[in-house]
Structure 1
Amino acid sequence: MTLDQIKAFVAVAEELHFGRAAQRLRMTQPPLSRHIQKLERIVGVALLKRDSQRVLLTDAGRAFLEEARRMLTLVDTASDRARRIASGAAGTVRLGFTAVSAISTLGTLLRQLSEHLPEIDVILHERVTAGQVDGVLRGELDLGLARPPFNVSSIDSRVVFREPLCAVLPVGHPLTTLDRALTPDDFDGQPIVSYNPGQARYFHELTVQFLTNAHPRIEQQVHQILTAVLLVAAGRGVALAPASARSLGINGVVLRDLIRGGSDPLNGNSGVAGKPVELHAIWDRGSTNPALWRVLDLLPSLD
């Protein structure tokens, strides 16, 4: 059974006239008649009653017409779906994110996708940056919202969000009473909740570089900003975190501004003072997922 045979039958069944059906299909009557004959042989029953005066549907033909229309609709729908997936207007994107990136960027992106690309399904994976990089390299993720640096030649990235670096202090801490932005010297001798140099390299280096000329005590090293803020709330020290950590809604902490300006912590320069925190979109530059490129079009580019 072929699609041409199905189309031929539907045309004849709806026109009840071979001449008009042939004209509708832009073909001559002899090949149209052969399509119908082959189809009836395949189905095993007569679908049409025809003589020199008229064409009628048999009972079997009426039943077959209903299913034939469904088949043609399914083919049209499948073809349209395939074209939309090929163009990136539909499909699936597996997206990695961290808890704080969800606050700053993820919600906005998901709302834009719902509005502009509603046929793209987004499968969310919460992972730290190292896990996202690994996921992109393994093909488990199409896109990540992660922190630099990304020392992998096959991964592309661009800045999609910047925000200030802040101090996270427990309520009642003496530094909360200062009516100014905090400097590295303010943290001299303070217990610090810092970040793991492997799993949270970016925030580890931001913290170390900001406090280069101070003499804090490193009490803990954690993987995630949320954990650092929770430990501060528990009185285990102070920490540095992006301003969006305010939106975590953790009771018992106060976020204070740091002095602005300075140089690049990732290049080993000293004197960093409140350098903006960057969030990057990361992806495999060789990705063959058309939906990925449509999603990237919705993300800002701050490079």
Structure 2
Amino acid sequence: MVFTLDQIRSFVAVAEELHFGHAAERLNMTQPPLSRQIQKLEKTVGVQLIERDNRKVALTTAGKAFLTDARKLLIASEQAPLTARRIARGQAGVLRIGFTAASGFSVLGSLLATLAEQLPDVDIDLREQVTREQVDSLANGELDLGLARPPIDHEHFESRLLQSEALQLAVPEDHPLAALNRPVSGEDLQDVPLIMYSPTKARYFYDLAIRNVPIQHGNVVHTVSQILTMVSLVAAGRGVAFVPESAQRLGVAGVKHLQLADQTDDVQLHAIWRRGQRNPALLRLLSALDHQE
């Protein structure tokens, strides 16, 4: 079954005017070709859509039902080119973003605010993944953008630094270290129970911690991978933990965040995307981020 948009337009005009002469004027054509368009449409559909005689024009029951779908077809045909042009300009479409749990309480909110302001009609598909999973998803084309930790394979991915913040020590608010009134050194932690990152599931933070502080692994009482879990254990008095400065935004009661002495490396979060990425919405987002700097 194949009918043309011209046939649909002719039918809608006659159905709305209920007069072939008026419908022909509306379409800037004469009545004979208009009648032929309706006849071809009815032949294709296989039922009579319009009853006509010398006195009146009326829709059949089938014609009334067909009119609803015919109008939708016309709207869709008019909308489709507009949608395609908007997607090409990055004003519509879908942007698939991967994010780490920690970025969820740091930069993700401001990034979504930028998207809402600059690309309000772009649908956002958010996926919480660790950096390794994001890299795989980006490589497979399942993600457009990742919010991930270093190191970054610059042969295959482009990146932009979104956040650089201090590594801090989270301690119970009544802990003796909280009364030092100075940055905490490695010597201060010699006999202190430590909640540490998993070297496999949270490798970035594990490496960062041991680069910044001389860790005594005999002091490690818990090994976890999520910052929220770590801070919650600190609040429960189970030990102290190294966390990014933005962890303060979690607002976990009973925890104090202290500066570290002689810190050499900041905690970094990057936007990363596959080289050659052509999603117009992503390109518009990156341009918007450029203008914020």
TM-score by length of 1: 0.77
1:63-212 → structure 2 map (5 Å cutoff) = 63=64, 64-151=66-153, 153-212=155-214
CA-to-aligned-CA distance 1:160-209 (integer Å, 9 cap, x gap): 12222211122322221112223344334444333233332221222111
CA-to-aligned-CA distance 1:136-162 (integer Å, 9 cap, x gap): 223333322221112363222211122
Distance in 2 (alpha carbons) for counterparts of 1:157 and 1:112: 18
Give 3-state SS (helix, strand or coil) of 1:241's partner: strand
Distance in 1 (alpha carbons) for counterparts of 2:193 and 2:49: 89
Name the counterpart of 2:58: 58
Size of the aligned set, in residue pairs, is 287
Structure 1: gaps of 5 or more residues = 260-271
The alignment yields a C-alpha RMSD, in angstroms, of 3.3
Amino acid at match of 1:196: S
Distance in 1 (alpha carbons) for counterparts of 2:232 and 2:21: 79
Amino acid at match of 1:45: Q
Distance 1:76 1:68, change over 3 A: same
Give 3-state SS (helix, strand or coil) of 1:121's partner: strand
Distance in 1 (alpha carbons) for counterparts of 2:119 and 2:21: 44
Distance in 2 (alpha carbons) for counterparts of 1:302 and 1:158: 13
CA-to-aligned-CA distance 1:24-81 (integer Å, 9 cap, x gap): 5466766544323312333442626376xx9x53232972545432321233334433
Structure 2: gaps of 5 or more residues = none
Distance in 2 (alpha carbons) for counterparts of 1:236 and 1:274: 27
TM-score by length of 2: 0.79
Contact preservation (8 Å) 2:234, 2:240: yes
Give 3-state SS (helix, strand or coil) of 2:98's partner: strand
Contact preservation (8 Å) 1:167, 1:256: yes
Distance 1:35 1:153, change over 3 A: same
Distance 1:67 1:222, change over 3 A: closer
- The answer as to 2:35 corresponding to 1:45 is no
Give 3-state SS (helix, strand or coil) of 1:7's partner: helix
Give 3-state SS (helix, strand or coil) of 1:58's partner: strand
C-alpha displacement of 1:255: 0.4
